[in-house]
Amino acid sequence: MEFNHRDACAIVGIGTTEFSKNSGRSVVRLATEAIAAAIADAGLRPCDIDGVVRCDYDDVLPNDLAEVMGLPLTYWSTVGIGGAAPSAMVGQAVAAILSGQATNVVVYRSLNGRSGRRLGSADQGGPAPAVGGHGSYDEFFLPYGLNTPGQVWAIIAQRHMIEFGTKPADLGAIALTCRANANNNPNAQMRDRTLSMAEYEASPMISAPLRLYDYCLETDGACAVVVTAADRAADLAQQPVLIRAVAQGAPERPQPGLIYPVLLREKLTTQPSAWAARTLYRRAGLGPDDIDVAQLYDCFTITVLMQLEDYGFCAKGEGGAFAAGGAIGPGGRLPINTAGGNLSEGYIHGMNHVVEGVRQMRGTSPNQVEGAEVCLVTSGIPVSTSAMILRRP
């Protein structure tokens, strides 16, 4: 029997810090700022929060928050992997609430991703990979120069171009859409920097075929949301945003390790998002035609293109034409990343997508989609992934 959580819980508070290249603050300080803002937004107090869910990459621990914020915790959990976690983190909060382990749960992500730990860079400080790699297979990749996520996604992008004729300009259309949305968002890192296709095409090649603007930002900042039961949500300060359904997904024969072994899969142009989509739509009782707006995880432009296909908004191989044809922009079939996304708002490991999904359902987005009632939010690929559907009551 499948766990039934449809519309049983809601997000009732959201909070963020500013997004910058140098916060000048510790990750604990950033986390407490975002969490305090989310709690206040919900009309709650720190003493009302009895659960927290964190990302496995987060340096802020539950006991840190309990100490500095006075949270009476009865539940805490850690969810991974990295950028694949945010939607699953919300799902963990839902599970805790419905199982009676917590009443009001904060889900957060805090990082100094530019001034501190830079997630997109090669690991220069660790030991040389040993034969056997503890299941990571890193010894088959790192010594030969494959040592950053951008290189992995460049290979996947090349494969998609070979199989389907996808063009660099198709990726550029995604970058430009996110940038235009960020230009209307006063909290976005790229709020004051426009981007044209000519500038995109002239930008430095980082790992062919991915250029500078195909990469997400490095960001200092934090985001948090408060999750509670739907029946309690009605009595709080904000209009609740219902969590219609949450799902996780991994493909058949997913390969071990963190990221590089995904290149050993038999097929690269279908990602874990295809498996998550099937589960999510079944749990939600909805399909791609019901989605009004989407916040698609965009660590690189190619991840957006492939999710457009995997979540059923266009056929396999047609993601490039779908994006380049204007379907993902304002007034299009599926407006995406309406605050600017990881590419142009800030890279808070995908938690900013959750916050923007809530804004869309509240009607407070900087690029509000008129009449939007259902929002898809996705989290990172390619190792595994998670996703959720939010809706207005």
Residues with catalytic roles:
297, 347
Tell me the CA end-to-end span of the chain in Å, nearest whole number.
26
Residue 81 phi/psi, 5° resolution?
-100, 120
Read off the tokens for 342: 């990881």
Cα separation values, 141 from 70, 133, 158, 258, 299, Å? 45, 11, 18, 12, 21
Q: Is 283:2 a contact under the CB 8 Å cutoff?
A: yes
Read off the tokens for 363: 């009607």
If we measure between CA atoms, which residue out of 88, 249, 201, 218 comes closest to residue 149? 218
- Rounded distance, CA 215 to CA 237, Å? 37
Q: Is 30:38 a contact under the CB 8 Å cutoff?
A: no
- Rounded distance, CA 103 to CA 91, Å? 14
What residue type is 185 in one-letter code?
A: N
Angle at the Cα of 103 from the Cα atoms of 97 and 107, rounded to 5 degrees: 75
Mark 210-221 as b/e (b = at least 16 C-beta within 10 Å). bbebbbbbbbbb
- Rounded distance, CA 106 to CA 93, Å? 8
Write the DSSP string, 308-356: HHHTTSS-TT-HHHHHHTTTTSTTSSS-B-TT-HHHHT--STTHHHHHH
Read off the tokens for 31: 């986390």
Residue 389 phi/psi, 5° resolution?
-120, 125
If we measure between CA atoms, which residue out of 392, 391, 388, 383 comes closest to residue 56? 383
E strand or H helix at 198: helix 197-202
Rg (alpha carbons) of the chain, rounded to whole number: 20
